[in-house]
């Protein structure tokens, strides 16, 4: 996904580095999973959803700053790569709709019970585990899951 947008920036601006920059930003956003290692665990569940690199606020700041660096195709590629990552997480993961807003996460004190309540329901774990190819194509898997889950989304978003 971010690669495709990087390709679009390349086509529009003639800057081939737009592709690796967009892909790198899209991939590196998820290294914030590493902080989960330090999170406390209760009854087998992590307590918090910190995700310091995941925030629509950052995307908004990035777009805002675009006006200052409007002529830099690499910066444009980075912003698009980031936005596509957050957007895919938003539609692909069954989180609270506001979970990808840093301010909302802070508001609920980063508690997973508020942000990803589905994880705590037994039904979540009875669902089939991701197919093997999801590891190699997480983007397509997220889209596929979003497509499959559209119908049943309403009854999962309690609490
Ligand atoms: Zn992510």
How do the domains of the chain map onto residue ranges? 2-156
- Tokens read off for 86: 């957050």
Residue 46 β-bridge partners = 41
d(CA 139, CA 4): 12
55 C-alpha to ligand 1 centroid (Å): 10
Q: Tokens representing 148?
A: 């499959």
Q: Please tell me the pTM assigned to this model.
A: 0.75
Structure tokens at 20: 């690796």
Check if the beta carbon of residue 9 is closer than 8 Å to that of residue 22: yes
Tens-digit pLDDT string for the chain (159 aa): 788 999 999 999 999 999 999 999 999 999 998 888 888 888 778 899 899 999 999 999 999 998 887 779 999 999 999 999 999 999 888 778 899 999 999 999 999 988 888 777 766 666 556 666 666 667 777 777 777 776 554 444 444
Owner of token pair 């190699």 = 136
Q: What is the Cα–Cα distance from 146 to 94, expressed in whole angstroms? A: 9
Q: What is the pLDDT of residue 36?
A: 86
What pLDDT score was predicted for residue 156? 46
- Please give the distance, rounded to the nearest whole angstrom, from the Cα atom of residue 80 to the centre of ligand 1: 14
* Residue 36 alpha carbon to ligand 1 centre in Å: 13
Cα of 124 vs centre of ligand 1, distance in Å, is 19
Q: How far is the CA of 51 from the centre of ligand 1 (A)?
A: 8
How many angstroms does the Cα of residue 134 sit away from the middle of ligand 1?
A: 14
- Give the Cα separation of 98 and 77 in Å (integer): 25
Distance CA 64, CA 20 (A): 23
pLDDT confidence of residue 119 = 76
Look at residue 140 in the predicted model and tell me its pLDDT.
73
pLDDT at residue 94 in the model = 74
Average pLDDT, the chain: 83
Question: In angstroms, what is the span from residue 100 Cα to ligand 1's centroid?
Answer: 9
Phi and psi torsions of 48, nearest 5°: -125, 155
**C-alpha 23 to ligand 1 mean position (Å):** 13
Find the 89 Cα to ligand 1 centroid distance in Å. 5
* CA 38 – CA 118 distance, rounded (Å): 22
Question: What would the DSSP string read from start to end of 48-90?
Answer: B---TT--HHHHHHHHHHHTTTTT-HHHHHHHHHHHHHHHHHH
Q: Which two tokens stand for residue 152?
A: 């049943």
């Amino acid at each position: 996904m971010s690669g495709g947008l990087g390709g679009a920036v390349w086509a529009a601006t003639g800057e081939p580095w737009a592709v690796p920059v967009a892909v790198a930003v899209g991939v590196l956003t998820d290294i914030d999973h590493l902080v989960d290692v330090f999170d406390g665990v209760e009854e087998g569940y992590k307590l918090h959803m910190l995700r310091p690199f995941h925030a629509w606020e950052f995307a908004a700041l990035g777009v805002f700053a675009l006006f200052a660096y409007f002529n830099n195709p690499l910066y444009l590629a980075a912003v698009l790569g980031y936005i596509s990552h957050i957007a895919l997480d938003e539609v692909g993961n069954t989180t609270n709709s506001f979970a990808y807003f840093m301010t909302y996460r802070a508001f609920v004190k980063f508690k997973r019970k508020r942000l990803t309540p589905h994880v705590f329901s037994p039904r979540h774990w009875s669902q089939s585990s991701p197919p093997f190819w999801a590891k190699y194509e997480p983007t397509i898997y997220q889209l596929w899951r979003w497509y499959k889950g559209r119908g049943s989304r309403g009854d999962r978003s309690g609490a």
